[in-house]
Amino acid sequence: MDEIALKRPRRWHILVFLTPALVIYTAVMILPLIETLRQSFFNTVDGEYTFVGLGNFTVLFGDPRWASDFWNALRNNVVFFLIHMAVQNPIGIALAAMLSVPKLRFNAFYRTAIFLPTLLSFVIVGFIWKLILSPIWGVAPYLMDLVGLKWLFAPWLGRPDSALIAVSLISVWQYIGIPMMLIYAALLNIPDEVIEAAELDGITGWSQFWKIKLPLILPAIGIVSILTFVGNFNAFDLIYTVQGALAGPDGSTDILGTLLYRTFFGFQLQLGDRSMGATIATVMFLIILAGVSLYLFVIQRRMRRYQF
């Protein structure tokens, strides 16, 4: 008995090392998350707080007071995400590919400059672009005039049919640095032997990029895509600074984050609603969880990983 106790003394230090992180993480992140999910099944009926099952969700998806706002926000959020995938990631890959050209001069300068907007806060980015696109200041029409495109200019942020695209492109401008950096890192990790072998086989330039490099950086593109997905379905700040909590004009830039803020916190005449706020947060949680699971269990598994 004594011998065993001597061999395996209680290792209190493990507990000491783990406890602070575990306590804060559990108390401030995990428990509130679970509590929020739980509250989405409760609501106040006739002045009493009761369990309503999936009642809140039926209201959110079907009740005319909620459903149109919710589906509008969800649709806008999907468009927001698709614009990021279609514009941000291809440009990010192209920039990374150009930066990885061997012995490129000013490489560090380009990287630093292009990454800078990513560090700026949404408040700065939102207001700068609001000023630039403002017809009062006239910077955007002036610049477009220089290239003879002035007739194309319109107050994009103020028009319901173009506001969402304009806001999405501002967000793309801000975040392009992340795909650029991650894919640049992946391109640098391709060993020289692989490239040399390709060159010996006469595969150079464009076809080298498409046939050799692109397949090798697919895992990095996968990570970039899932980061974009989580970030987009959780976005709020940029829309709030550019278009306000009402996500105007006419709700055309409303996404799930702004809808959650208005619902939970209330805005102008609308009172805050805790239960419906929790319900929207739960829907966002399920969307993000579905995306992350799809990535972890389907996309990442199928993707071939090359070991060098």
| 154-193 binders of other proteins (CB under 8 A) | 173, 176, 181-182, 184-185, 188-189
Under DSSP, is residue 272 helix (H, G, I), strand (E, B) or coil? coil
Q: Please list the residues that pair with 267 across neighbouring strands.
A: 270
Whose Cβ is closer to other proteins: residue 145's or residue 161's? 145
Query: Looking at beta carbons only, is 161 or 272 nearer to other proteins?
Result: 272
Query: Rounded CA gap, 142 and 132, in Å?
Result: 10
**Does the protein bind other proteins through residue 111 (CB under 8 A)?**
yes
Give the shortest CB-244-to-other proteins separation in angstroms.
Answer: 9
Closest contact distance (angstroms) between CB of 276 and other proteins is: 10
Instruction: For the CB of residue 65, give the shortest distance to other proteins in the complex, in Å.
Output: 20
Using CB under 8 A, pick the residue from 82, 113, 197, 303 that binds other proteins.
Answer: 113
Report if residue 274 touches other proteins, rule: CB under 8 A: yes
Distance CA 219, CA 222 (A): 5
Q: Give the residue, chosen from 9, 20, 47, 202, that forms a contact with other proteins under the rule CB under 8 A.
A: 20
Q: Which residue has the tokens 């509250």?
A: 39
Beta-bridge mates of residue 43: 50
* In 8-131, beta strands by DSSP E: 42-45, 48-51
* Smallest separation (angstroms) from other proteins to the CB of 129: 7
- Contact with other proteins (CB under 8 A) among 55, 117, 158, 249: 117
Per-residue DSSP letter, 270: B
The dihedral formed by the CA atoms of 260, 263, 268 and 269, expressed in degrees to the nearest 10: 160
Residues paired with residue 50 on neighbouring β-strands, in sequence order = 43
Could you say which residues in the range 129-148 bind other proteins, by CB under 8 A?
129, 131-132, 137-139, 142
Nearer to other proteins, 161 or 292 (CB): 292
From the list 30, 71, 85, the residue with the least C-alpha distance to 231 is 85
Residue selected from 114, 165, 190, 218 as contacting other proteins according to rule CB under 8 A: 114
CB 140 within 8 A of CB 56: no
Helices 274-293, 31-39: crossing angle, 10 deg rounding: 120
| 303 touching other proteins, by CB under 8 A | no
Task: Say if residues 246 and 262 touch (Cβ distance below 8 Å).
Answer: yes
Using CB under 8 A, which residues numbered 218 to 257 contact other proteins?
A: 223, 226, 230, 234, 236-237, 240-241, 257
CA 78 to CA 94: how far, in whole Å?
Answer: 24
Residue from 44, 58, 68, 121 binding other proteins (CB under 8 A) = 121
Looking at residues 42 to 71 of the shown chain, list those that interact with other proteins (rule: CB under 8 A): none
Is the Cβ of residue 212 or residue 238 nearer to other proteins in the bound state? 238
What does the alpha-carbon distance between residue 266 and residue 256 come to, in Å, rounded to a whole number? 15
Residue 137, Cα to own-chain centre: how many angstroms?
A: 31
- The footprint of other proteins on residues 26-45 (CB under 8 A) is 27-33, 35-36, 39
The distance of closest approach from Cβ of residue 182 to other proteins in the complex, given in angstroms and rounded to an integer, is 6
